[in-house]
A and B are shown apart, each in its own frame.
Chain A
């Protein structure tokens, strides 16, 4: 099993979600995060301009079985892409074990 963590533009979330559904990745968690990056956002408040490198993004955590890894990454790479600085990142790591609390199933079965 693999854990795919990805940070994407909020504006791309619906497309990524749809792309994941297309390849039958139907379960994942997400939350909004603030990060620091290369992109600077210019602001003006009451006549005082300031720029912030604090960037708002959405963080998705997806656990899939090994055969699903490549197509999941490919779906995200395609659907989250704009080509402009700040499209985000994907991180892949191993997951040692998984359990479904209700049925006590473990491993690949618990992900279905």
Chain B
């Protein structure tokens, strides 16, 4: 292999390792934003969706996503991928699949059956995620052929996870005590420091997520990679600032967990366009996401009355879709503001709607079957005492 090949491969492996670390971030955000009695259950969900996803994606998910295209809709599946020259790609894509799966965990925290979650997580990584991913990233997918841009997966990864999370939170129902007489009650998380550490870790991992998606670093790719790191960072920073000021205006004080969500909202939103927009474009995308996230969380919590303890639906679903659409506005090549007209925006909308519909319909069907068979929810007693003591017969804090 020549030096450039080695460099590119090494870059993909390093970035994959960074994305892997995002699993720790998801675990920390989810535990920090919820109550201490469910911490062990959340640890196990986040650990196991990574493990199940790793095996499942290797066993069949990877080739469903990247195998030879059948009608631009699905890859030709082969079992137990073993191609020595593509192991770095398998690894990089595995950690992405695990990210899509773990997003669901936060939205249904504190009340969902462990076994049900494991089954859903497997289906997510071997079926729901790889098929819609094929449409965009395999090279022959129907959305690729339309010219749809989702560089690192605002829609492919985050929206798919976010919409599945919406369906899951809707079907499993709110936590006990979350809504009384139609009013939303606060259920404060038990450790915002842990939540904040999780956000920093996710932000760090995101540099791998976005800059790694260049899939190369040799030659001219190096400048592209550096540009992506900058757009990613600017969007996250702008979104956190925007969310802070919006929460400040609405509640009189800068809300901590909303501001943390704001940073994540910016990261999700810039993921689609991190290689296609200018630093200024990235900053504006971040600002928009930071404003939208606060109202989205309020809307889902107070109007839809869907209980999402960590804001996963708003961060990943809503801001993923938003960021993907904004590529059509801010892309320096073909964006609305750069004289490209409405074409790219239209293509982006088709992609967002198609993948959104796919994720919502498939996850609804799977979860509905699970609900009617083994059930989605733990018993009332289990929920009140905490999932740790009933599902795992232990406490995390002793």
| Option from B188, B189, B298 in Cβ contact (under 8 Å) with A47 | B298
Q: Is A47 in contact with B247, judged by CB distance below 8 angstroms?
A: yes
CB-defined contacts of A104 to chain B, threshold 8 Å: none
Q: Indicate if A45 sits at the interface (CB-CB under 8 A).
A: yes
Residue of A44, A45, A46, A50 most packed against chain B (CB within 10 A): A46
Q: Indicate if B6 sits at the interface (CB-CB under 8 A).
A: no
Q: Indicate if A43 sits at the interface (CB-CB under 8 A).
A: yes
Q: How far is A20 from B356 in the complex, measured between Cα atoms in Å?
A: 67
| Option from A43, A45, A47, A50 in Cβ contact (under 8 Å) with B250 | A47
Q: Is A44 in contact with B185, judged by CB distance below 8 angstroms?
A: no
Q: Indicate if B320 sits at the interface (CB-CB under 8 A).
A: no
Chain A 27-53 interface mask (CB, 8 Å, partner B; 1/0): 000000000000000011111111000
Q: Indicate if B333 sits at the interface (CB-CB under 8 A).
A: no
CB-defined contacts of A47 to chain B, threshold 8 Å: 247, 250-251, 255, 258, 294, 297-298, 301-302
Which of B231-273 touch A at CB < 8 Å?
247, 250-253, 255, 257-258
CB-defined contacts of B301 to chain A, threshold 8 Å: 46-48
Q: How far is A43 from B187 in the complex, measured between Cα atoms in Å?
A: 11
- The closest CB in chain B to the CB of A43 belongs to B186
Min Cβ gap A44→B in Å is 4
Q: Indicate if B89 sits at the interface (CB-CB under 8 A).
A: no
Q: Is B253 in contact with A48, judged by CB distance below 8 angstroms?
A: no
Q: How far is A48 from B298 in the complex, measured between Cα atoms in Å?
A: 8
CB-defined contacts of B297 to chain A, threshold 8 Å: 46-47
State the interface size on chain B (CB cutoff 8 A): 20
- The closest CB in chain A to the CB of B253 belongs to A44
CB-defined contacts of A48 to chain B, threshold 8 Å: 184-186, 301-302
CB-defined contacts of B253 to chain A, threshold 8 Å: 44
CB-defined contacts of A50 to chain B, threshold 8 Å: 185-186
CB-defined contacts of B298 to chain A, threshold 8 Å: 47
Q: How far is A46 from B315 in the complex, measured between Cα atoms in Å?
A: 13
Q: How far is A26 from B125 in the complex, measured between Cα atoms in Å?
A: 64
Q: Is B188 in contact with A45, judged by CB distance below 8 angstroms?
A: yes
Q: Indicate if B311 sits at the interface (CB-CB under 8 A).
A: yes
CB-defined contacts of A43 to chain B, threshold 8 Å: 186, 188
Min Cβ gap B247→A in Å is 7
Min Cβ gap B35→A in Å is 12
Min Cβ gap B81→A in Å is 41
Chain A 47-88 interface mask (CB, 8 Å, partner B; 1/0): 111100000000000000000000000000000000000000
Q: Is A44 in contact with B184, judged by CB distance below 8 angstroms?
A: no
CB-defined contacts of A49 to chain B, threshold 8 Å: 186, 251
Q: How far is A8 from B228 in the complex, measured between Cα atoms in Å?
A: 55
- The closest CB in chain B to the CB of A47 belongs to B298
CB-defined contacts of B258 to chain A, threshold 8 Å: 46-47
Q: How far is A47 from B184 in the complex, measured between Cα atoms in Å?
A: 10
Which of B162-198 touch A at CB < 8 Å?
184-189
Min Cβ gap A50→B in Å is 5
Min Cβ gap A46→B in Å is 5
Q: How far is A45 from B188 in the complex, measured between Cα atoms in Å?
A: 6
Min Cβ gap B310→A in Å is 10
- The closest CB in chain B to the CB of A48 belongs to B186
Q: Is B257 in contact with A46, judged by CB distance below 8 angstroms?
A: yes
Min Cβ gap A48→B in Å is 4
Q: How far is A47 from B253 in the complex, measured between Cα atoms in Å?
A: 10
Residue of A45, A47, A48 most packed against chain B (CB within 10 A): A47
CB-defined contacts of B252 to chain A, threshold 8 Å: 44
Q: How far is A38 from B386 in the complex, measured between Cα atoms in Å?
A: 31
CB-defined contacts of B250 to chain A, threshold 8 Å: 47
Min Cβ gap B106→A in Å is 13
Min Cβ gap A40→B in Å is 15
CB-defined contacts of B247 to chain A, threshold 8 Å: 47
Chain B 287-320 interface mask (CB, 8 Å, partner A; 1/0): 0000000100110011000000001000000000
CB-defined contacts of B257 to chain A, threshold 8 Å: 45-46
Q: How far is A72 from B100 in the complex, measured between Cα atoms in Å?
A: 63
Q: How far is A44 from B187 in the complex, measured between Cα atoms in Å?
A: 10
Q: List 11 A-B contacts (CB under 8 A).
A: A43-B186, A43-B188, A44-B251, A44-B255, A45-B186, A47-B294, A47-B297, A48-B184, A49-B186, A50-B185, A50-B186
- Residue positions of A touching B, CB distance < 8 A: 43-50
10 new A-B contacts at CB < 8 Å, known A44-B251, A47-B251: A44-B255, A45-B189, A45-B257, A47-B247, A47-B250, A47-B294, A48-B185, A48-B301, A48-B302, A49-B251
